[in-house]
Structure 1
Amino acid sequence: MKKDFFSFAFLLVSIISSAQEFTRKDSLQGGFSFERTSFDVQRYDLNIAINPEERTIVGYNDITFKIVKNTSKIQIDLFENMQVDSIIFEGKKVKYEREFNAVFLNFEKQLTSGTSDKKLRFYYSGKPLVAKNAPWDGGFVFKKDNNNQHWIGVAVQGTGASLWYPVKDSQSDEPDFGASIKVAVPNGLMNVSNGRFLGSEDLKNGYTRWDWEVKNPINTYNITVNIGDYVQIHDNHDDLDLDYYVLRINEEKAKKHFEEVKPMMDCFQSKFGKYPFVEDGYKLVETSYLGMEHQSAVSYGNKYRKGYAGRDNTGTEIGLLFDYITIHETGHEWFGNSITSKDIADMWIHEAFTTYSESVFVECLYGYEKAQIYLNGQKLSVANDRPVIGQYLVNNEGSTDMYYKGAQILNTLRHIVNDDEKWWKMILKYSETYRHKIIDTQIVISFFNAETKMNLTPIFDQYLNYTTIPVLEYKIEKNKMEYRWKTAVADFKMPIVLFDSGKEIRLNGTNDWQSYKVKKGEEVSFENKKFFIRLIKV
């Protein structure tokens, strides 16, 4: 399940393209040291109590793992502000040392490659960091609802799951056999986590423990808690359980608003394949922050409005036809949660496909033309400030252009392929081929190269690793047009679509000047809405 594929070319470009300096702390969190790669996590069993008044966590995580390389030392991660109470392995306390957010466990005897079902219990406690502006910065959110009841959530994408529990904090290793999340909260409150609800138990100390079970592999940043005065709304669609956990005051509003989920599921399953986590069900959980793609427990905080926080961020009005958070965050179930990037430097693999899924939903319900208008509206939000790919091995994401520019890459590829039947088969095959797998940029590129039988590598390279987009330079004199692509990448080839006296012509554009005889120069125009390019007449 875990594979070490990296593209040296993309790594080199990414390193050169940024002058940002990184530290040992960054390498410990983002790197793939021997202390991390020597073992493979099989399962997490989290058992904690959360005190809302004191904002504390106390409990343990049982970590089941397999040894893949002989070792006597492994790395588990826990933010340095959290307390390590003790670590137990085979009935004995394990000696450990801490460096920044890394905890290095030193075993008395060497653990031998091939041995599985090893288990350690990591006891811990402390006050986890509180987010200043979730979900854009990581941490817990402690709020009260309109009835003055505690309303608590957590979002840690990018920041790291080790902010609140001990874990191998890397997207490169998901627990192969899922996880259990047992969370005790004060009586009268409920905790909703990932997967299926197994039951609750009154602990006779003023707390009730809520038990949840995840059957599928899960990104560690996706493991979540949601504490509040929730009510459950249950539904089912084509044998998929749909559950909505909402604040009591919003129950009736939620029943009507979440009717959008069924056509969304129909659309996504037709284009991307079966919902990836049927065994764990699908949930929307109301949160006080805007949203997050927590696997099988999607965080929803859009306040039952259409658009993005009640507005259309494309300037097209099409964004007001649907609830952005429901659609976007659910799209992540396929792209990000099922298909996961090994390194967060490749987070475009999550965000590009998921942002594109918004337009897929629009196309399913409202047609191709509206989807293209929506996509073209997103172009206005592309900053071209930094490369889309971040720096590898140091827990560094690339530009937020991974969202809108990423979607433009896919729309451009669709029109390079120029065959919608082939395109949708390709997207479906991509989703199903890498279902529940951890991949990287090179794997994505190799897939599309193979499926299209084209060399798309320079196109991906230009869009992902450079802040400039392809520029179509052209000049027309009488009945002769000369044209070329101007790019930072050498040997760049991409079709050019033009209209000559109303007739569509496709030309094979390169970095070299080429010529084409036109009927009437003044009647020539270029297709630039279906491609993410610039036009410059020279």
Structure 2
Amino acid sequence: MRNASLSLFILLFLGLSIKAQPLHQKAAFNRADTLRGTLTPLRTCYDLSYYHLDVSIDIDQKSISGSNEFVFTATQDFKRLQFDLFSNLKVEKVVYQNQELPFTREFNAVFVNFPKTIRKGSKDRFTVFYSGHPIVAKNAPWDGGFIFSKDKSGTPWVSVACQGLGASCWWPNKDHQSDEVDSMLVSIRVPKGLKEISNGRLRSVQKQADGTIKYNWFISNPINNYNVTFYIGNYAHWTDEYQGENGKLTLDYWSLSQDSAQAKPHWDQDVKPMLQCFEHWFGPYPFYSDGYKLVEAPHLGMEHQSAVAYGNQFKMGYLGKDLSGTGWGLKFDFITVHESGHEWFGNNITSKDIADMWIHESFTNYSEALFTECKNGKAAGEDYVIGIRHNIANDIPIIGAYGVNKEGSGDMYYKGANMVHIIRQLIGDDEKFRNILRGLNKTFYHKTVTTAEVENYITEKSGLKLQKVFDQYLRHTSIPELEYKINGNQLSYRWKADIKDFDMPVKVSLTPNNYTYIYPTSIWKTTEIDPSIKDETFKADPNFYITIKFSK
């Protein structure tokens, strides 16, 4: 993603994530933010079912030109709608039933007027033709945009990463996570001699009159906009298969030709064990019909659906470093595991509003601990998730501002994973916890969701009162503090937290070398404790991400 040693220091110092990172915080939101993030009637009036993105990428000029067809069903009567395309890209024309439609722009939003009312329930389509020079990322995927790179032989190596920035930075679409097309055709023309990989399955390769080559990739599953991608370069390709819960899953590997000898054994060590582990915990891989692809990319990584971006330099850990500081993080390739975990959380289950991105990142970050557990045992998984806490900033709430296309804190990764781990402790039954994770992926299969839907599902299936836990960890910056005092064999304790009447159970050392549940509230409570437990030896179970404070 960036220079390995410098980036690791900066990321860990700031407590930020190692992947698609929330953009810089803003003090206030403007009209452009609202146009991008709010679901107005001009966006909800049509429900998308299909895109055909058909473009040519000029590597020398760093430009793009082509079209995108929108196929939709009207959800209400309308004559005007909004789609999105960054203002540095030119809308050449909007065509509907063989006639050009009038349109206007405001910031990155485009408003189209139809000649007649589109009636509710009707299925229709229009095509946007466009061209221009897309944003070139300075430090992808952190800032987003096109990446124009070259391999060691000087051959062009080009891709895109746009989570956070938005897919409308390079192609016209309804750029809101709440509306995913059911299927999509991605057609991309590239110079002769280069290969192009996108999401889904390759339908055809066509020679063009101008000497370029057109690759047509069909995506048969719902996909969110920022996952639509391409990789252009001198690629080697090999295949394998995995016998999974839903039968044969095809595995396609694409590395630069110059890296194929190194890539094959490196990827082999993690991919199948990872898929087996994640299917055990999360349920069947969500995109059997599109297959699983791992593609070497000119940036660190991204969860591009069925075409996972990989740029970890074939090292274990994160660019050779252990983000947990425990040693366990060097037992697997971080990018392979993390970005593939997003196939379940982020790609299968997608948040409607980007403010709820914790749904993507918290569970996926926890998938690293689960994979560690699958390979090395439960204690190793616990060590890993406890170890990543040193990356938590507790700066702003994990949930961002709604309706303005704004993520919350990068703590959605490490702190969010620890919240999931706490919920696992409170459930106290790993099979029940596993069924909840699998149930989430089954209940919300190929759907977009809200935080409330996820919270309510976990609360209902666990049978626990978890709302105050969610509120404290997702909506506040501080973590709950267990205040205690010991007088002889009497332990007094209470919670100090942002949430009124916070009452999360927690395990503590009432006897030596053993943890027992207590049930604190905001009011002091008292219980008996082994006399050998003193102020300095009293501990909380480290599986709970809390602070404890001795009160005199």
Paired AA for residue 529 in structure 2: V
Match of 2:136 among 118, 130, 133: 130
Partner of residue 508 from structure 1, selected from 519, 523, 527: 519
Inter-partner Cα distance in structure 1 for 2:356 and 2:444: 15
Distance of 1:351 and 1:421 partners within structure 2: 22
Match of 1:217 in 2: 222
How big is each residue's C-alpha offset from its partner over 1:159-203, in whole Å with a ceiling of 9 and x where there is no partner? 000000000000000002x10100000000111000001121110
Q: Which residue of 2 aligns with 1:273?
A: 283
In the alignment, structure 1 residue 369 sits paired with structure 2 residue 388: no
SS of alignment partner, residue 41 of structure 1: strand
For residues 217-264 of structure 1, the C-alpha deviation after alignment (integer angstroms, 9 at most, x for no partner) is: 001000001110111111111110000111111111111011110000
- Distance in 2, Cα, partners of 1:112 & 1:87: 20
Shift of 1:339: 0.2
Q: Distance in 2 between matches of 1:68 and 1:428?
A: 32
Question: Where does the alignment leave 5 or more consecutive residues of structure 1 unmatched?
Answer: 1-17
Q: Distance in 1 between matches of 2:444 and 2:186?
A: 26
2:541 maps to 528
Tell me, yes or no, if the aligned pair for 1:480 and 1:521 is still in contact at 8 Å.
no
Q: Is the 8 A contact 1:308 1:324 kept in 2?
A: yes
Q: In 2, distance between residues paired with 1:297 and 1:392? A: 29
Describe how 1:359-508 pairs up with structure 2 within 5 A: 359-502=369-512, 503-508=514-519
Partner of 1:184: 189
**Counterpart of 2:6?**
none
Aligned counterpart for 1:314 among listed residues 324, 327, 335 = 324
Q: CA deviation at 1:498?
A: 1.8
| TM-score normalized with structure 1 length | 0.95
Distance (Å, rounded) in 2 between the aligned partners of 1:91 and 1:109 = 14
Partner in structure 1 of residue 55 of structure 2? 48
- How far residue 491 of structure 1 moved from its aligned partner, in angstroms, is 2.0
The residue identity in structure 2 corresponding to 1:191 is E
Aligned residue for 2:18?
none
Q: In the alignment, which of 235, 258, 274 is matched to residue 249 of structure 1?
A: 258
In structure 2, C-alpha distance between the alignment counterparts of 1:528 and 1:506, rounded to whole Å:
9
* 1:19 Cα deviation after fit: 8.2
- SS of residue matched to 2:190: strand
Secondary structure of the residue aligned to 1:104 is strand
Which of the numbers 353, 357, 365 marks the counterpart of 1:347? 357
- Give the match for residue 21 of structure 2: none
Counterpart of 2:159, as a letter, is G
Whether the aligned pair in 1 keeps the contact of 2:508 and 2:541 (CA below 8 Å) is: no
CA contact (8 A) 2:515 2:540 kept: no
- Distance in 1 between residues matched to 2:529 and 2:542, nearest whole Å: 22
Q: Normalising by structure 2, report the TM-score.
A: 0.93
Q: Distance in 2 between matches of 1:129 and 1:508?
A: 53
- Kept in 1, the 8 Å contact 2:199–2:305? The answer is yes
Once the two structures are TM-superposed, the CA of residue 20 in structure 1 deviates from its matched residue by 2.5
Secondary structure at the aligned position of 2:538 is classed as strand
Q: One-letter code of the match for 1:232?
A: H
CA distance in structure 2 between the partners assigned to 1:81 and 1:204 by the alignment:
29
Displacement after TM superposition at 1:521 (Å): 5.5
Task: Report the counterpart of residue 102 of structure 2 in structure 1.
Answer: 95
Q: SS in structure 1 opposite 2:284? A: coil
What are the Cα deviations for residues 139-173 of structure 1, in whole angstroms up to 9, with x where unaligned? 00001111111100000001000000000000000
Alignment partner of 1:113 out of 101, 107, 120: 120
Q: Are residue 286 (structure 1) and residue 296 (structure 2) matched?
A: yes
The 1-side partners of 2:219 and 2:532 are apart by 63
Runs of 4 or more above 3 Å deviation: none
Q: d(CA) in 1 for partners of 2:411 and 2:101?
A: 44
Contact 1:500 1:520 in 2 (8 A): no
Task: Tell me whether 1:78 sits opposite 2:85 in the alignment.
Answer: yes
Question: Is residue 2:33 matched to residue 1:26?
Answer: yes
Q: 2:80 and 2:140 mapped to 1: Cα distance? A: 35
Residue aligned with 1:124, SS: strand
SS of residue matched to 1:374: helix
Instruction: Report the counterpart of residue 145 of structure 1 in structure 2.
Output: 151
1:155 is the counterpart of 2:168: no
Q: Is there any run of 5+ residues in structure 2 with no aligned partner, and where? A: 1-24
Give the letter for the 1:240 counterpart: L
Aligned equivalents of 2:176 and 2:323: distance in 1?
32
Q: Verify the 8 A CA contact 1:388 1:465 in the aligned structure 2.
A: yes
Which whole-Å CA distance do the structure 1 matches of 2:279 and 2:533 have between them? 46
Whether the aligned pair in 1 keeps the contact of 2:303 and 2:343 (CA below 8 Å) is yes
Q: Give me the whole-angstrom Cα distance separating, in 2, the residues matched to 1:424 and 1:522.
A: 35
CA distance in 2 between partners of 1:452 and 1:275 (Å): 24
1:169 match: 175
Does the 8 Å CA contact 2:540/2:548 hold for their aligned counterparts? Answer: no
**2:510/2:533 contact within 8 Å kept:** no
1:517 is matched with: 528
Instruction: Note the C-alpha offset of 1:127.
Output: 0.4
Question: Could you tell me how far apart the structure 2 residues matched to 1:468 and 1:521 are?
Answer: 32
Task: Quote the Cα distance in structure 2 between the aligned partners of 1:210 and 1:280.
Answer: 16
8 Å contact from structure 2 (residues 515, 541) kept in 1: no
The one-character-per-residue Cα deviations of 1:381-435 (angstroms, maximum 9, x if unpaired) are: 0000010000000011000000000000000101011111211122111221111
Give the structure 2 partner of residue 11 of structure 1.
none
**Any residues of structure 2 matched to 1:290-309 within 5 Å, and which?**
290-309=300-319
What is the alpha-carbon distance in structure 2 between the residues aligned to residue 19 and residue 25 of structure 1? 13
Partner amino acid for 1:257? H
Following superposition, the deviation at residue 492 of structure 1 comes to 1.2
SS state at 2:422 partner: helix
* Kept in 2: contact 1:528–1:534 (CA 8 A): no
Contact 2:65 2:131 in 1 (8 A): yes
